[in-house]
Structure 1
Amino acid sequence: MLGLPLEAVLGYGWAGIMRKFVVEPAHMWWPSSLVQVSLFRAMHEKDSKRMSRGKFFLIALICSFSWYVFPGYLFPTLSAISWVCWAFPKSVTAQQIGSGMEGIGVGSFAIDWSVIASFLGSPLVTPFFAIVNIFVGYALFMYIILPIAYWGVNVYNAKNFPIFSSHLFNHNGERYNVSAIVNDKFEIELPAYEQQGRVNLSVFFSLTYGIGFAAIIATLSHVAVFNGKEIYAQLQASFKGKEDIHTKLMKKYKNIPNWWFHLMLVLTLLLSLVMCIFLKHEIQMPWWGLIFAAGLALAFTLPISIITATTNQSPGLNIITEYIMGYILPGKPIANVCFKTYGYISMAQAVSFLNDFKLGHYMKIPPRSMFVVQAMGTIIAGTINLAVAWWLLTTVENICQDQLLPPNSPWTCPGDRVFYDASVIWGLVGPKRIFGPLGNYAALNWFFLGGAFGPVVVWLFHKAFPNQKWISLINLPVLLGATAAMPPATSLNFNCWIIVGVIFNYYVFKYRKGWWQRYNYVLSAALDAGLAFMGVLLYFTLTMQGISISWWGAEGEHCDLASCPTAKGIVVDGCPVY
């Protein structure tokens, strides 16, 4: 309970150190903060034109609010329209191709903003060049690499398992019995593991890890070759006192002393060290693991913040933290989760806080006021989030157990299930028994090498052909990290997100630029707000009361066979045997 606010406050400390590099420079523009800027302007600025931003926001909010009652309650199938499954209700292969939730999603789409913006953020905010990078990475993986690996090569016995799944399996396609290999100390029971056999992943899940290896190393490489000079120049400017116009305007306010952040970091680390020392059996992570995790977070906060500030996409640090601690302390899942929390989650919190600092920069909010509000908000939000999570776990029956829930249940917890499976892969079993010499997926380690040299190759092409401006727009951390949100994100989320992003950030921007400049970010904020209000209303008025409807349109995606294996002799409940 204490660790939750501690890692958030730790992230706030990292953010304070990095402000000079990713908040003050004008080219670090943080696209997502512009949505809030547009919303505040719409609410507070007087506008004499016929359709003011405020009026447009209100109309769009009402439309979003009203529409969500259909996919959110009356017609949930609108959240996953996979017509290929409807056309071929008895074909496993057709449903693997057409399912947007458990397949590669050919032709699958949704008329639901919660599906479109849930994992990648609002497509109206992401720059078009980043959308293109994401589309290329997603299309290469989902529609070329994955089909070849599954139907063509059958790599890693892919047909023994579903084509798209984050679950863990035995060699015969059955779900892996994790509870059988963990003891009462939450450590691996090796004899039981040897008896049950190696952990197997779907080909989709295994390849996303390989691409994740490449993406995280590519982040460091890309920032070094493309932004190294800028970082050095900004470091020099910080000593020489060079400032842009926004920074000069912000000088009217008292700045936040750096020692505030340093003190916050020291106190947070000291409290965390006390936890590691006196609760060592519960946490499983030694004190030096905390120092190592903090060092990783500090090292990666700057490059990942730069990528986020310019593309609105954040490469994840979760894989590398899990990998490292999994090798150092195999068989200790709690230690792995703690290391991931301090190494990755604190960095992600830092990126979020830096985004807030940029919002304050745009809106000319006094820095010390931002500090107080953010610090208080961090502590309050951490406490409330923990309380709400505890309440849901104790009141919602079968929460997060997707096999025991109805098809359209909102309580399947896809992100939490992936987090749990990752703790088994990296913490309990350990990377040595999965991605090392004792596992099936050692070859995926070569992706690290590809991620290191990929941005260098792009940079060399950029220098060799300086007139080809499109080369400099190739962002390998974004391209490779396109599928980093999968799982829990699905092909359905990506299909809709890319289509909407192209429509607004290419066609509308190109042919209706005045409208785009005036209303685009306001529309994004209105869609989010309307959805949020209706979601809360539906939960408290209908879901909590157990009021539901039963008909074809409320039964999910209708792709029941998409999760079936296709290898000969594999027997799975509810699936045909080949």
Structure 2
Amino acid sequence: MRPVQENGEKWDEHGPFDGAPNVHESSIESSIPNGRTSDESGAPSQDVLLAAGIGLREDDPNLPCLTIRMWTIGTVFCLLGSGLNTLYTFRFPSISLSQSAVQFLAYPIGKACEYALPDWGIRLFGTRISLNPGPFNYKENILIYILANLSYMTRLSADVLTEQRFFYGLKAGWGFEIAITLATSIFGFALSGLFRALVVEPAGFIWPGVLGNTALSHALHFKDNGSIKGSKWSMSRYRFFMLAFCVSFCWYWFPDFIFPAMGYFTFICWAAPDNAVVNQVFGMKSGMGLLPFTFDWNQIAYIGSPLVVPTWTVLNVLASLIFWIWIVSPALYYTNTWNSAYLPFQSNSVFDNTGSTYNVTKVIDKGADFSFNITKYNQYSEIYMPVVYGLNTFGLCFATIASLFVWLFLEKRHSIMTIARASWFGGFWSKGNFHMRDPQPQYSATPTWWYGLVGLVAMVLGIFSCEYYPVQLRWYGAIFAFAISFVFFVPLAWVFATANIKVQIDILCRLIAGYVFEGKVLANIWFFDLGYISGIKGLAFAQDLKLGIYCNIPPKKLFIAQAVGILIGSLSQVAVVNWALNHIPDICTKKAANGFNCPFSRTHFNTSLIWGAVGPRRFFASDALYRPLLWFFLLGALLPIFVHVTRKRFFPNSKWFSKIHVPVFLGGLNYIPPASGTNYGSWAIVGLVFGLWIKSKQRDWWKRYNFVLSSALDCSVAIGGVLIFFAVYYSGAADKFSWWGTEVYQNTCDWKGCTYFSLPKGEKFGP
């Protein structure tokens, strides 16, 4: 296919940011003969791909990729990112150097290598390897990003390693820590490759999360100065990026340091700081966030940039926010359902019958492998959850899990079967009558058996870790956990690839482990690690595979980069965890200097004690307080059927009704808590402003700058946050900086977590 002109910009089916077909091939099965059309909510349009810099230039298969400078810069960023992010998981508040910032920072370093290094090289197997093979190109830059990206999936793994070693006192050694960390990452890597034909290669799976990266890559490496024909927007994408970056970087000093109240802009709560109801309604920390305004991009993009998310996703999430958080939750709360009115409206903590944070150590025998003591439990208190915590973390999670498979069967079964028959899966039952269009025909594909082999290696490492070391999880438990990750990967990837929403199944893993391995807390945390974290990492690997298609990275070279990144990131992570636990004084205690009190690991510790020791059976027994939440499984199974039948019978031609996405409606609020209605509300407002209003009123501007702006905001906030932390907070310069704008939002009921009902001193609620 030859490049075509579209508003003055070239569109090439095999451009450097390829993998997306032209507008006539935008369905998921566009590359399959006689394939069915995809859901319009998941199909990319030509405008979206052009706006993200995809397909604007022809590919050059001869561009060097795995160069010495790529490996050097990528390894440094991988070590730096893994080390920094792992270290600061021990700290509150935590900081991190984001992936988009790495992509941006790698560019000037790569260009410096281009100008400074000599063209010295040697020949190896017929190929010349040079220190400076020519101009620093976008493929090298993307591979650096992908290599470093693997180091940013460290927090959850670091949390469970710290949880076992510090809080449970089990020092299994470096061998276990390396083996279990590699098993988790490698299995996710294998899942991404095994299922790439189903959820990565089809054109309809746009993976919106990478559009900012492709736009940034195009802006940095192709500094076009031409304007769109007939448009007044003549500034190049590169100049626009730099301008937006500088403005955002300077602005971020205000909400992050100078005037933090701009980030927590709950001015109604400031006017009535002691009014519990006002703070519960309009509050941002423990309230429902009914006034979703903030001037902090970090708060707006808490769940991801709203500029890259499809409008139909934003509308589904907004509907979910309004219904579940602003209508259902207040109705439950103010009627004191589950005794919730004695607790904050929203919190990620669980409580006892006095309204205090639940002290799990009171019901655990530390000398007996942290086993549960029923006598102490009956003497102390049942566990109580805030209404939003119970409804969203459990009820809606149950409903989402049930809806995933029903929704896929009703809405996507034909798509799944068509793609499966055209992929390598079809080889098991078809005779090759269907063929998937290769998204990168100019390169040889990575053999699927490579991914199958590394998947087996991951399972061997996981089973060995559980059998050889005393972590309470047996071989069959490890296989069960891997099976859960395997079964859920395609449904989760299907949603993430089209909606950019990660549906959580962590509670499901906790519950299953709590029932199967009741009373075994270590088994609970490692079942969670192998069953949940491996799948989450797999989604990140799959997203990078899609980025590789868009940027025409040779698949085998991408495989090598990801494999090396796993090894470097895992070893670095384990080394930093051990160094921190051995060298930071009083780490993971309240006495720890510089805030290294391990908040995330402590939360995981409490969670594993609750679900591993106390057990879910006491939560959902026939007479248990929270048993009604199990009905959400039925709700999740029936709602897709209701929506499907209603649309088919009554609204077959409705544009808006076809946009209803049940799993996103049920699972789109998965970051609440700790996120709040303000985070989601402001995210939705910005998403609709850019995705609906600006896109329709200023379409040329949107096509040229929308995704570039998203990348500029993400990069500036990430780099600004790190600089502010080290220059101001870590150095102690901010210790004496205090005024009304740094304190007003903290002197409210919202910040303190006021309750609707108050208990007289010494009184208790519940049975």
Q: TM-score, normalised by structure 1?
A: 0.92
Residue 490 of structure 2 corresponds to 302
Cα-to-partner distance string for 1:217-245 (whole Å, 9 max, x where unaligned):
11121112111110100111124375666
Matched, 1:126 2:309: yes
Matched, 1:69 2:257: no
Give the deviation of 1:126 after TM superposition.
Answer: 0.8
Cα-to-partner distance string for 1:548-573 (whole Å, 9 max, x where unaligned):
12222222623532312232434499
Give the 3 Å change call, closer, same or farther, for CA 300–539 of structure 1 in structure 2. same
Give SS of 1:555's match. Answer: helix
Give the 3 Å change call, closer, same or farther, for CA 305–513 of structure 1 in structure 2. same
Give the 3 Å change call, closer, same or farther, for CA 212–405 of structure 1 in structure 2. farther
**1:379-418 equivalent positions in 2, closer than 5 A:** 379-388=567-576, 395=584
CA distance in 1, matches of 2:644, 2:565: 41
Give the 3 Å change call, closer, same or farther, for CA 417–476 of structure 1 in structure 2. farther
Give the 3 Å change call, closer, same or farther, for CA 397–90 of structure 1 in structure 2. farther
656, 664, 683: which one aligns with 1:470: 656
Matched, 1:320 2:508: yes
**1:43-58 equivalent positions in 2, closer than 5 A:** 43-49=220-226, 50-58=234-242
Give the deviation of 1:427 after TM superposition.
Answer: 1.9
- AA aligned opposite 1:136: A
Residue 535 of structure 2 corresponds to 347
Give the deviation of 1:399 after TM superposition.
Answer: 6.4
Matched, 1:26 2:203: yes
Cα-to-partner distance string for 1:76-114 (whole Å, 9 max, x where unaligned):
222211111111122122111221111111224221111
Residue 501 of structure 1 corresponds to 687
Q: Are 2:365 and 2:372, in contact at CA under 8 Å, matched by a contact in 1?
A: yes
Give the 3 Å change call, closer, same or farther, for CA 203–348 of structure 1 in structure 2. same
- AA aligned opposite 1:472: S
Q: Are 1:285 and 1:335, in contact at CA under 8 Å, matched by a contact in 2?
A: yes
**Matched positions, count:** 563
Matched, 1:256 2:446: yes
Matched, 1:161 2:351: no
Matched, 1:365 2:553: yes
Q: Are 1:173 and 1:572, in contact at CA under 8 Å, matched by a contact in 2?
A: no
Matched, 1:272 2:458: no
Give SS of 1:483's match. Answer: coil
Give SS of 2:749's match. Answer: coil
Residue 178 of structure 1 corresponds to 360
Cα-to-partner distance string for 1:343-401 (whole Å, 9 max, x where unaligned):
11111111111111011111111001111111111222233344555666764978697
Residue 143 of structure 1 corresponds to 326
Residue 202 of structure 1 corresponds to 386
Residue 720 of structure 2 corresponds to 534
CA distance in 1, matches of 2:523, 2:585: 28
Give the 3 Å change call, closer, same or farther, for CA 215–564 of structure 1 in structure 2. same
Give the 3 Å change call, closer, same or farther, for CA 201–396 of structure 1 in structure 2. farther
CA distance in 2, matches of 1:125, 1:38: 11
CA distance in 1, matches of 2:758, 2:587: 33
179, 189, 212: which one aligns with 1:35: 212
Give the 3 Å change call, closer, same or farther, for CA 405–446 of structure 1 in structure 2. farther
Q: Are 2:291 and 2:678, in contact at CA under 8 Å, matched by a contact in 1?
A: no
Give SS of 1:469's match. Answer: coil
- AA aligned opposite 1:323: L
Give the deviation of 1:265 after TM superposition.
Answer: 0.9
Structure 2: runs of 5+ lacking an equivalent: 1-176, 227-233, 427-431
Give the 3 Å change call, closer, same or farther, for CA 326–10 of structure 1 in structure 2. same
270, 274, 281: which one aligns with 1:97: 281
Give the 3 Å change call, closer, same or farther, for CA 498–216 of structure 1 in structure 2. same
Matched, 1:78 2:266: no
Q: Are 1:332 and 1:428, in contact at CA under 8 Å, matched by a contact in 2?
A: yes
Q: Are 1:218 and 1:451, in contact at CA under 8 Å, matched by a contact in 2?
A: yes
Give the deviation of 1:187 after TM superposition.
Answer: 2.7
Residue 311 of structure 1 corresponds to 499
Give the deviation of 1:481 after TM superposition.
Answer: 0.9
Give the deviation of 1:542 after TM superposition.
Answer: 2.3
Identity %: 33
CA RMSD in angstroms, aligned pairs only: 2.4
Structure 1: runs of 5+ lacking an equivalent: 574-578
Give the 3 Å change call, closer, same or farther, for CA 509–421 of structure 1 in structure 2. farther
Give the deviation of 1:271 after TM superposition.
Answer: 1.4
Give the 3 Å change call, closer, same or farther, for CA 413–397 of structure 1 in structure 2. same
Q: Are 1:220 and 1:303, in contact at CA under 8 Å, matched by a contact in 2?
A: yes
Moved more, 154-163 or 542-551: 542-551
**1:559-570 equivalent positions in 2, closer than 5 A:** 559-562=747-750, 563-570=753-760
CA distance in 1, matches of 2:578, 2:284: 31
Higher-RCO chain (CA-CA 8 Å, sequence separation at least 6): 1
- AA aligned opposite 1:343: G
Q: Are 1:337 and 1:423, in contact at CA under 8 Å, matched by a contact in 2?
A: yes
Q: Are 1:186 and 1:334, in contact at CA under 8 Å, matched by a contact in 2?
A: no
Give the 3 Å change call, closer, same or farther, for CA 471–389 of structure 1 in structure 2. farther
Matched, 1:449 2:642: no
Cα-to-partner distance string for 1:427-449 (whole Å, 9 max, x where unaligned):
22111111233632011000001
159, 179, 185: which one aligns with 1:8: 185
CA distance in 2, matches of 1:223, 1:196: 45
Give the deviation of 1:277 after TM superposition.
Answer: 0.8
